[in-house]
Chains A and B, each alone.
Chain A
Amino acid sequence: DAGVIQSPRHEVTEMGQEVTLRCKPISGHDYLFWYRQTMMRGLELLIYFNNNVPIDDSGMPEDRFSAKMPNASFSTLKIQPSEPRDSAVYFCASKQYPKNIQYFGAGTRLSVL
Chain B
Amino acid sequence: ELKVEQNPLFLSMQEGKNYTIYCNYSTTSDRLYWYRQDPGKSLESLFVLLSNGAVKQEGRLMASLDTKARLSTLHITAAVHDLSATYFCAVDSDFGNEKLTFGTGTRLTIIP
Which listed residue (B88, B99, B104) contacts A48, Cβ 8 A? Answer: B99
Contact B88 A43, beta carbon cutoff 8 Å: yes
Contact A100 B50, beta carbon cutoff 8 Å: yes
Q: A42-B104, A43-B88 are in contact. Are A56 and B99 (CB under 8 A)?
A: yes
Asked whether any CB of chain B lies closer than 8 Å to the CB of A101, the reply is yes
Cα–Cα, bound, A38→B103 (Å): 13
Query: In this complex, what residue of B is CB-closest to A43?
Result: B102
Chain B positions 45-73 with a Cβ under 8 Å from a chain A Cβ: 45, 48, 50
Q: Which residues of A contact B43 (CB under 8 A)?
A: 43, 91, 93, 104
Q: Which residues of A contact B100 (CB under 8 A)?
A: 33, 45, 102
A-B contact count (CB 8 A): 45
Q: Which residues of B contact A104 (CB under 8 A)?
A: 35, 42-44
Cα–Cα, bound, A97→B33 (Å): 16
Contact B97 A56, beta carbon cutoff 8 Å: yes
Q: A100-B48, A103-B45, A107-B42 are in contact. Are A42 and B105 (CB under 8 A)?
A: yes
User: By CB atoms of chain A within 10 A, which of B43, B102, B104 has the most?
Assistant: B43
**Other than the known A44-B102, A48-B99, A56-B97, what 14 A-B pairs have Cβ atoms closer than 8 Å?**
A33-B98, A43-B43, A43-B105, A45-B101, A55-B98, A56-B99, A93-B43, A97-B98, A100-B48, A101-B48, A102-B45, A103-B45, A104-B43, A105-B42
Could you pull out 21 A-B pairs where Cβ atoms are within 8 angstroms?
Answer: A31-B98, A33-B98, A42-B103, A42-B104, A43-B102, A43-B105, A44-B102, A45-B99, A48-B98, A50-B98, A55-B98, A91-B42, A91-B43, A100-B50, A101-B33, A101-B48, A102-B45, A104-B35, A104-B42, A104-B44, A107-B42
